[in-house]
């Protein structure tokens, strides 16, 4: 095969055995790679209703067809499993050299099951697999684990994906890190920790073959050039922290746990401010001509020496969402999340919620171990991150994620627990971005700005962002399907505006790399298939339309400030948009994939399993 390696490596942590299974061309064309592979492999390799932190659960790593080739921004991988945060499908992306190395080692995907009796790390050295003693790595950060593994294996070029202390302690939003990049969302680091698996080290020496190298070179040179132009300027100049001031001005910058949509300290935590005061270098992932990674450093003060890569989502979550305008403290908080292996969005979401609980008297200094957990208290922010990772004191409650923590605390704190399906909201106040609100509501992995880019319609002025109306369902669907293809081809979405016609050009790239026939309409259909498959997995796990609801604050409390003042998404507006979306998808009116749609998408086996009978059963349970 070209592009693909044609192999999936199965690893059983309990028996310490591995085996290879082939991947067929038909499988590749139907599910493309990345999240598409994850969705199908997860569906097929687990029984329904498993505990995501049990040995029965699986953890999947999947590359895309472009990994290890010339294709710009094509070196990403997806990690997937049942999310311990949501109970539904969890998938998260990372990028750079680890993805490249997995392909060169000869695998399209890894499927890991079971639980090792002792802490272990895997060393995949082309065709050789070793289950190595990882006890000495316990308690180490991801960067330290990488360093120690390279020293032990005496090869500084080995690539490592690992969990930090948060993953070891089964924090439900622990991440998996490689090359200073992170598969952050949905808590798959906890799944890895539950398997007593600290790290996966790779050494690959094989060549990834492509079907037509000359044509691929021609297309890629053109794409590299386009990726240096205005469409990516935002990422190159300031990085994603550009969003801070833009969102503040549009009043969609979540502040103090979404109590406000503008932040008076926005200038002090903006991309512009960071560039002037903290950014020391700009770097790129493997094969990326954009280079969005703005590495930042604190020179003086109590957080002197702290360093991290900045991105908008992390900055919103640990900055404005916690009322913090102290840029060195935000860099320190991000550095700690990297050190412990915590998803920054969920960490900031949980801490913002805890701060609001404290200010409302639902948590006291007795609960927090003496911490004055008020908004803006950056020392408290930093202290809590230590507690969450180690599950010490209140950290044990917060390590469960905002959904479980609010259910346990009760007293009305659920009303301002900002999550969808259990996943904490990213940095968009969707009360004034109504297409985005729909996209967030229906996303299979929970509140998500990556599996649906529906905010583009709102912010770009394609629609009136303050209005809910018919037609948004189709827009949300198209955005989701397109995102599914980006995340299966494993292309970074930052290149999305460099394509003149994404489906046409991506299909051409796919053919040139893999030699498999792929037309734009087939690629589009593959995106729809993958979204339906993910939804089918969720249905099998017990999804009902209640899971597509927005947080109460989004539907009850209007935005109090800025140009979006007064805006919210009423329950009626949400219902209107959900009905429109389900109809656009060809699903039933209560949001279940119809048998006919699944069969149309060549998911006949799944149609049999989760078709109308299961729907009837779950609707009855409502």
Partner 1 sequence: MKVTVEFLGPVRTLAETKEAEVDLNDEARIRDLLVAISEKFPQLLNRVIDAEAFKLKEPYGLSVEGRYAVKDVDAKIGKNNRILIFPIEAGG
Among residues 250, 388, 512, 598, the one that binds partner 1 under rule CB under 8 A: 250
Burial 550-570 (b: 16+ CB within 10 A, else e): bbebbbeeebeebebeebbbe
**CA dihedral for 273, 276, 281, 287, sign (positive or negative):** positive
* Stretch near partner 1 under the rule CB under 8 A, chosen from 381-389, 415-423, 455-463, 523-531: 455-463
Nearer to partner 1, 85 or 275 (CB): 275
We find the least distance from the C-beta atom of residue 132 to partner 1, in angstroms, to be: 37
Nearer to partner 1, 492 or 574 (CB): 492
We find the least distance from the C-beta atom of residue 242 to partner 1, in angstroms, to be: 4
Nearer to partner 1, 125 or 272 (CB): 272
Tokens 């308690």 locate to 139
Biggest CA pair distance of the chain = 67
Count, residues near partner 1 per rule CB under 8 A: 40
* Stretch near partner 1 under the rule CB under 8 A, chosen from 144-152, 225-233, 405-413, 507-515: 225-233
DSSP assignment letter at 175: -
Among residues 103, 104, 185, 234, the one that binds partner 1 under rule CB under 8 A: 234
**CA dihedral for 78, 33, 294, 201, sign (positive or negative):** positive
We find the least distance from the C-beta atom of residue 246 to partner 1, in angstroms, to be: 5
Tokens 């149609």 locate to 607
Among residues 245, 306, 513, 531, the one that binds partner 1 under rule CB under 8 A: 245
Contact between 497 and partner 1 (CB under 8 A)? yes
Instruction: Tell me, residue by residue from 543 to 562, as one string, x for binding to partner 1 by CB under 8 A and - for no binding.
Output: -------------------x
* Stretch near partner 1 under the rule CB under 8 A, chosen from 29-37, 104-112, 156-164, 247-255: 247-255
Contact between 449 and partner 1 (CB under 8 A)? yes
Instruction: Tell me, residue by residue from 463 to 482, as one string, x for binding to partner 1 by CB under 8 A and - for no binding.
Output: --x-----------------
| Length of the chain (residues) | 622
**Helix 472-489 with 571-585: angle, nearest 10 deg:** 60
Nearer to partner 1, 96 or 243 (CB): 243
**Helix 472-489 with 34-45: angle, nearest 10 deg:** 90
DSSP assignment letter at 266: G
Nearer to partner 1, 262 or 406 (CB): 262
* Stretch near partner 1 under the rule CB under 8 A, chosen from 104-112, 398-406, 490-498, 607-615: 490-498
Whole-number Å distance between alpha carbons of 70 and 265: 42
Whole-number Å distance between alpha carbons of 50 and 360: 37
We find the least distance from the C-beta atom of residue 455 to partner 1, in angstroms, to be: 5
Whole-number Å distance between alpha carbons of 370 and 386: 14
Contact between 233 and partner 1 (CB under 8 A)? yes
DSSP assignment letter at 342: B
Among residues 83, 175, 196, 243, the one that binds partner 1 under rule CB under 8 A: 243
Whole-number Å distance between alpha carbons of 444 and 547: 10
We find the least distance from the C-beta atom of residue 249 to partner 1, in angstroms, to be: 5
CA distance to 121, 317, 348, 557, per residue, from 258 (Å):
40, 10, 12, 10
Show the tokens assigned to 264. Answer: 């008076």
Contact between 564 and partner 1 (CB under 8 A)? yes
Among residues 249, 360, 467, 608, the one that binds partner 1 under rule CB under 8 A: 249
Helices (H) and strands (E) in the chain, counts: 27, 17
Are 77 and 487 in contact, with CB atoms under 8 Å apart?
no
Contact between 587 and partner 1 (CB under 8 A)? no
Among residues 563, 584, 599, 619, the one that binds partner 1 under rule CB under 8 A: 563
Contacts of 38 (CB under 8 A, 6+ apart): 60, 62, 78, 79, 80, 91, 109
**394 to 433, contacts with partner 1 by CB under 8 A?**
427-428
Show the tokens assigned to 291. Answer: 């280079």
Among residues 47, 117, 460, 617, the one that binds partner 1 under rule CB under 8 A: 460
Rg (CA), the chain: 23
CA distance to 167, 354, 491, 521, 585, per residue, from 524 (Å):
36, 42, 15, 5, 13
Contact between 240 and partner 1 (CB under 8 A)? yes
**What DSSP element (H or E) covers 128?**
strand 128-133
Among residues 121, 494, 543, 582, the one that binds partner 1 under rule CB under 8 A: 494
Nearer to partner 1, 134 or 453 (CB): 453
Contacts of 346 (CB under 8 A, 6+ apart): 85, 173, 184, 185, 187, 317, 401, 402, 423, 424
Among residues 220, 238, 290, 373, the one that binds partner 1 under rule CB under 8 A: 238
We find the least distance from the C-beta atom of residue 461 to partner 1, in angstroms, to be: 2
Residues that bind partner 1 (CB under 8 A): 230-231, 233-234, 237-243, 245-247, 249-251, 271-272, 275, 311-313, 427-428, 449-450, 453, 455-456, 459-461, 465, 493-494, 497, 562-564
């Amino acid at each position: 095969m070209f592009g693909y390696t044609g192999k999936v490596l199965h690893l059983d942590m309990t028996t310490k055995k591995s085996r290879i299974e082939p991947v067929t061309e038909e499988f590749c064309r139907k599910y493309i790679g990345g999240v598409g592979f994850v969705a199908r492999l997860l569906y097929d390799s687990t029984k329904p209703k498993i505990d995501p932190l049990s040995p029965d659960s699986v953890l999947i790593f999947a590359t895309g067809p472009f990994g290890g080739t010339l294709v710009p921004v094509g070196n990403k991988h997806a990690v997937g499993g049942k999310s311990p945060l949501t109970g539904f499908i969890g998938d998260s992306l990372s990028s750079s050299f680890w993805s490249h190395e997995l392909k060169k080692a000869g695998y399209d995907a890894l499927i890991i099951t079971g639980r090792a009796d002792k802490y272990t790390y895997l060393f995949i050295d082309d065709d050789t697999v070793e289950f190595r003693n990882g006890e000495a790595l316990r308690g180490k950060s991801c960067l330290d684990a990488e360093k120690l593994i390279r020293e032990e294996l005496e090869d500084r070029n080995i690539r490592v994906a690992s969990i930090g202390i948060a993953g070891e302690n089964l924090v439900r939003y622990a991440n998996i890190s490689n090359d200073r990049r992170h598969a952050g969302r949905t808590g798959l680091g906890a799944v890895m920790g539950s398997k007593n698996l600290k790290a996966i080290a790779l050494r690959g020496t094989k060549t990834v073959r492509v079907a037509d190298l000359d044509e691929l070179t021609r297309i890629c040179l053109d794409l590299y050039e386009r990726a240096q132009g205005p469409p990516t300027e935002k990422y190159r100049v300031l990085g994603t922290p550009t969003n801070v001031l833009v969102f503040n001005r549009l009043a969609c910058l979540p502040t103090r746990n979404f109590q406000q949509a503008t932040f008076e300290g926005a200038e002090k935590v903006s991309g512009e401010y960071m560039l002037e005061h903290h950014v020391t270098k700009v770097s790129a992932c493997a094969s990326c001509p954009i280079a969005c990674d703005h590495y930042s450093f604190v020179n003086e003060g109590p957080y002197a020496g702290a360093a991290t890569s900045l991105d908008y989502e992390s900055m919103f979550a640990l900055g404005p969402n916690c009322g913090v305008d102290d840029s060195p403290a935000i860099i320190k908080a991000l550095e700690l999340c990297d050190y412990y292996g915590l998803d920054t969005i969920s960490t900031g979401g949980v801490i913002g919620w805890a701060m609001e609980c404290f200010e409302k008297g639902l948590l006291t200094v007795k609960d927090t171990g003496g911490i004055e957990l008020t908004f803006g208290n950056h020392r408290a922010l930093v202290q809590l991150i230590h507690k969450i990772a180690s599950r010490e004191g209140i950290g044990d409650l917060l390590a469960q994620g905002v959904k479980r923590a609010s259910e346990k605390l009760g007293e009305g704190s659920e009303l301002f627990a900002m999550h969808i399906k259990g996943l904490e909201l990213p940095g968009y106040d969707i009360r004034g971005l109504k297409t985005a609100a729909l996209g967030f509501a229906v996303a299979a992995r929970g509140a998500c700005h990556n599996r649906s880019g529906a905010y583009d319609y709102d912010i770009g002025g394609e629609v009136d962002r303050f209005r809910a109306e018919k037609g948004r369902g189709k827009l949300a669907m198209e955005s989701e399907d397109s995102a599914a293809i980006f995340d299966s081809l494993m292309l970074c979405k930052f290149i999305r505006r460099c394509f003149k016609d994404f489906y046409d050009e991506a299909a051409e790239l796919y053919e040139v790399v893999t030699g498999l026939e792929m037309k734009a309409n087939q690629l589009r259909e593959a995106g729809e298939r993958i979204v339906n498959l993910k939804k089918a997995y969720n249905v099998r796990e017990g999804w009902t339309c209640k899971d597509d609801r927005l947080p109460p604050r989004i539907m009850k409390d209007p935005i109090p400030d800025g140009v979006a003042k007064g805006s919210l998404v009423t329950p009626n507006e949400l219902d209107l948009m959900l009905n429109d979306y389900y109809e656009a998808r060809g699903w039933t009116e209560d949001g279940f994939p119809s048998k006919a749609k699944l069969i149309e998408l060549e998911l006949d086996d799944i149609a049999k399993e989760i078709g109308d009978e299961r729907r009837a059963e779950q609707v009855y349970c409502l």
